[in-house]
Structure 1
Amino acid sequence: MDVLNDILDTLNLKGALYFRTDFSDPWSVTVPDLYQAARFHLVVQGHCHVQFPDDRAVDLGPGDLVLIPRGRQHVLADAACETAPALETVLKDAGYRGDGVLVVGEGDPNATTQMVCGHYTFRNGADHPILRALPDYLVTSASVRAREPWLDEMLRLVVQRVFSEEMGSTAAVTRLSEIVFIELLRVGIGQSEELQMVLSAFRDRHIGRALQLIHSRPAEPWTVESLAMEVGMSRSRFAERFSELMGTGPMTYLSDWRLQKALSLLDDCRCSVQQVAMQTGYQSPAAFSRAFSGKFGLPPTEYRRNIA
């Protein structure tokens, strides 16, 4: 099975386009924190200075994209600045109603900064070593795109659809952007040693096979011994290698993944709590409820009531 696809489906990765911009210098905006989300900004024309609260910053030019995996607050501006108005204020002052172009200033249309800005959301409570391994930001430059024709083509399609304003363009962009997220993970390996380790686990002959077994049969009563035997490794070497690549032990990974599957089932189907417990490998609803409450702070019955 495609383990990465299963992970992103279970975590409920969803792309959303929230606006495209036409900013005239000078301009700046403070983008607020966004929980359980990853933001992205793709520069189509002009330039953008991205500044974070810890004073780290990055400058983007045409074709460059920044992905901010944990949706943390940041400032977008034409140049470094001490303060910047809140996004809410900028939207209100511009009279932006949620569609079309966010226009700020009245400069030369050929010299403005035009961007496509959007975000990815995940299920409430979503967690996985991939998400934990992502750095505070990932930059994909125009030069990187030149070496990655598949990603480059996807981003070109996103821009074409956003600026076409044809029927269905927003839906097309959100679907395309989800593909872009997967490609950004792959090309971002060089910017994060942790992410490189986790993604290498999927390609590892032994650990990749173990991940396939866990994801295809999460309810199986797996043990370190049984997984090691299935992939042809000694128990100690398997546990060591799994922890080295994934940043967590195989049994902890299995327990965490079962609870992520449980969240998905509770959200997306009409299964009873007992059925969810069985499908995720728990011996009884009581054992499932204890594990779920320990991880998410409330029992599965209450969680389901809250989302109803």
Structure 2
Amino acid sequence: MDVLNDILDTLNLRGVLYFRTDFSSPWSVTVPDLSQAARFHLVVQGHCHVQFPDGEAVDLGPGDLVLIPRGRSHVLADAACAAAPELETVLKAVGYKGDGVLVVGEGDPNATTQMVCGHYTFRNGADHPILRALPDHLVTSASVRAREPWLDEMLRLVVRRVFSDEMGSTAAVTRLSEIVFIELLRVGIGQSQELQAILSAFRDKQIGRALQLIHARPADPWTVESLASEVGMSRSRFAERFSEMMGTGPMAYLADWRLQKALSLLDDQHCSVQQVAIQTGYQSPAAFSRAFSGKFGLAPTEYRRNAA
């Protein structure tokens, strides 16, 4: 089974395009926090200075993309600045209704900054070592794209569709952007040792096999001993290597993954809490409710009611 595909499906990865820009200097905007989301900005033309609250900053040129995995607030501008208006303020000032191009300023049309801006959302409560391993921001430069033809082609397709204004363009872009996210994970290995270890675990003959077993059969009564036996390793060596690569022990990973699957199943109104408990390996609905409440701070029935 494709473990990464199962993870992203269960966490409910969804791409959302929220606008394309045409900014004339001077311009700046403060993008607010967005929980359970990963923002991205792709520069098509011009220049963008991205500044974070901790003082770190990156400069983007044509073809560059920044991914901000945890959706933290940041400032976009044509140059470093002490303060910038909130995004909502800018949208109201120009009368932007959510369709077409966000135009700010009336400068030289040949010297504007054009970007494609969007974000990826995840199910409320979504969590996984791969998300925690992502850096605070991940930059993919034009030079990196030149070495990654698949990612480069996907981004070119996104830009062509966004600027085509044809029927179905937005839907096509959101689907393409989800593929881009997967490619960005792979390309971003060099920017995070933790991410590199996790993606290496997926390809590892023994740890990768253990992950496949957990994801294919999460309800099975797995133990460290049974998983180690399945992949031909000693109990101690298996537990040690799994923890080194995934950043968590095999039983902790299994327990967390069962609860992530439970979130996904609870979104299905035709699946009872008892059925969810059985399909995620709990001996009783009561045991499942205790584990779920301990992780998410509310009972499964309350989560379902809120989601509905």
Normalising by the residue count of structure 1, what TM-score does the alignment of the two structures yield? 0.99
- In structure 2, the residue matched to 1:13 is 13
Query: In the aligned structure 2, how far is the partner of 1:303 from the partner of 1:21?
Result: 37
| Correspondence for 1:288 | 288
2:175 match: 175
2:140 is matched with: 140
Q: d(CA) in 2 for partners of 1:233 and 1:71?
A: 39
After TM superposition, the structure 1 = structure 2 runs for residues 1-308 of structure 1, keeping only pairs within 5 Å, are 1-308=1-308
What's the CA shift string for 1:197-236, capped at 9, x where partnerless?
1111101111000000000000000000000000000000
- CA distance in structure 1 between the aligned counterparts of 2:307 and 2:177, rounded to whole angstroms: 26
Deviations 1:94-124 (A, max 9, x none): 1100010000001111110000000000000
Shift of 1:307: 1.6
If the length of structure 2 is used for normalisation, what is the TM-score?
A: 0.99
The CA deviation string for residues 250-293 of structure 1, in whole angstroms up to 9 with x for no partner, is 00000000000000000134110000000000000010000000
- CA-to-partner distance for each residue in 1:60-116, whole Å, 9 max, x for gaps? 000000000000000000000000000000101111000100000011111100000
Q: Take 2:301 and 2:42, find their aligned partners in 1: how far apart are those partners?
A: 41
- Equivalent AA in structure 2 for residue 66 of structure 1: V
Unaligned segments of structure 2, at least 5 residues: none
Letter in 2 for 1:94: V
User: Which consecutive unaligned segments of at least 5 residues does structure 1 have?
Assistant: none
Q: Distance in 2 between matches of 1:121 and 1:248?
A: 24
Q: Distance in 2 between matches of 1:306 and 1:91?
A: 30
Q: 1:213 is matched by which residue type in structure 2?
A: L
- Structure 1 CA distance for aligned equivalents of residues 269 and 160 of structure 2: 36
CA distance in 2, matches of 1:159, 1:148: 17
Q: Residue type of the partner of 1:13? A: L
Whole-angstrom distance in 2 between the partners of 1:207 and 1:99 = 47
In 2, Cα distance between equivalents of 1:63 and 1:298: 44
Cα distance in 2 between the residues matched to 1:209 and 1:171: 35
Q: Secondary structure at the match of 1:58?
A: strand
Tell me the number of residue pairs that the alignment of Structure 1 and Structure 2 aligns: 308
How far apart, in 2, do the equivalents of 1:6 and 1:237 lie? 26
Question: 1:306 and 1:124 mapped to 2: Cα distance?
Answer: 11
Q: Percentage identity across aligned positions?
A: 90
Q: CA deviation at 1:40?
A: 0.1
Post-superposition CA distance 1:116-170 (Å, at most 9, x none): 0000000000000000000000000000000000000000000000000000000
SS in 1 for 2:111: coil
SS where residue 164 of structure 1 aligns?
Answer: coil
Determine the C-alpha separation between the residues in 1 that align with 2:146 and 2:135. 23
**Whole-angstrom CA distance in 2 between matches of 1:269 and 1:221:** 26
Supply the distance in 2 between the matched residues of 1:301 and 1:70 (Cα, whole angstroms): 28
Letter in structure 2 aligned against 1:204: D
